[in-house]
C-alpha cells in the first residue's frame, strides 16, 4: 500500500505541460470550443457584486473573438459532428462578501471534455472528465468595481487559453 501512495505523490510532481514522447498536445486538432454558461456557487452574492451570466459570457466572447479559437456560445451550439473534436470552456465563479462588504471572488476557467472509457481489468465503461487546461484567480474589491475587475481577469484568462490553444495546434503546411 505504501508504494501506491508514493507513486501518486511522485506523479503529482510532474509538470502539467510534460508530454510523453510521440504524443499530441492536449488540444491538438480541437475544432470547436463551446463556451458554457457561467456557474456561480452563490448567485445571491454574485448578484450583490454585479456579476451575471451575461456579463461573463460577453467578456469571454469578446476576448476569444480577438483570437483564432473557434469559440461557440453554448446558446448557439449545434449537435456534435462526427469526427470534429469539441471541448467545453467552463467559467466558474465563487463569490462572497466579507465583513467590510467587499466582494471576494475565486474565478476558475477550465477547458474540459467528458468521455466514457474502459479501464482494465473492469470492462464496464467509466465516465471521466478530461481537463485540457485550467486557470484560477482570486479578486477582492468593493462592490462598485468588482464586475469590471472580474471582466478584466476573464479577458486575461481567455487570452492565455487562446495562447495555449494556438500552441497545441498542428503547424500549417507550406503552400
Q: Which domains does the chain have, with CATH numbers?
A: 24-167 (3.40.50)
Distances in whole angstroms, Cα of residue 25 to Cα of each of 69, 88, 132, 169: 16, 17, 9, 8
pLDDT tens for the chain, 175 residues: list them. Answer: 444 443 333 333 333 444 555 567 889 989 999 999 999 999 999 999 999 999 999 999 999 998 989 999 999 999 989 999 999 999 999 999 988 889 999 999 999 999 899 988 989 999 999 999 999 999 999 999 999 999 999 999 999 999 999 999 888 778 7
Q: How many CB atoms lie within 10 A of CB 112?
A: 15
Beta bridge partners of 136: 108
Indicate the helix (H) or strand (E) that contains 167: helix 143-168
- Read off the pTM: 0.81
Residue 23 confidence (pLDDT): 66
- Give the dihedral of Cα atoms 148, 104, 113, 80; nearest 10 deg: -40
Dist CA 101 CA 85 (whole Å): 44
Residue 14 confidence (pLDDT): 36
Dist CA 158 CA 67 (whole Å): 9
Amino acid at each position: 500500500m505504501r508504494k501506491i501512495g508514493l507513486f501518486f505523490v511522485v506523479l503529482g510532481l510532474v509538470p502539467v505541460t510534460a508530454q510523453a514522447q510521440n504524443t499530441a498536445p492536449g488540444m491538438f486538432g480541437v475544432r470547436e470550443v463551446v463556451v458554457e454558461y457561467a456557474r456561480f456557487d452563490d448567485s445571491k452574492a454574485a448578484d450583490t457584486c454585479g456579476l451575471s451570466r451575461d456579463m461573463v459570457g460577453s467578456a469571454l466572447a469578446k476576448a476569444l473573438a480577438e483570437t483564432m479559437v473557434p469559440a461557440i456560445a453554448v446558446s448557439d451550439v449545434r449537435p456534435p459532428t462526427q469526427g470534429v473534436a469539441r471541448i467545453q470552456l467552463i467559467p466558474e465563479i465563487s463569490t462572497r462578501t466579507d465583513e467590510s462588504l467587499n466582494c471576494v471572488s475565486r474565478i476558475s476557467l477550465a477547458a474540459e471534455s467528458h468521455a466514457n472509457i474502459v479501464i482494465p481489468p473492469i470492462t464496464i465503461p467509466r465516465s471521466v472528465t478530461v481537463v485540457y487546461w485550467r486557470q484560477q484567480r482570486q479578486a477582492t474589491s468593493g462592490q462598485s468595481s468588482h464586475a469590471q475587475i472580474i471582466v478584466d481577469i476573464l479577458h486575461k484568462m481567455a487570452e492565455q487559453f487562446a495562447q495555449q490553444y494556438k500552441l497545441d495546434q498542428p503547424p500549417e503546411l507550406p503552400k
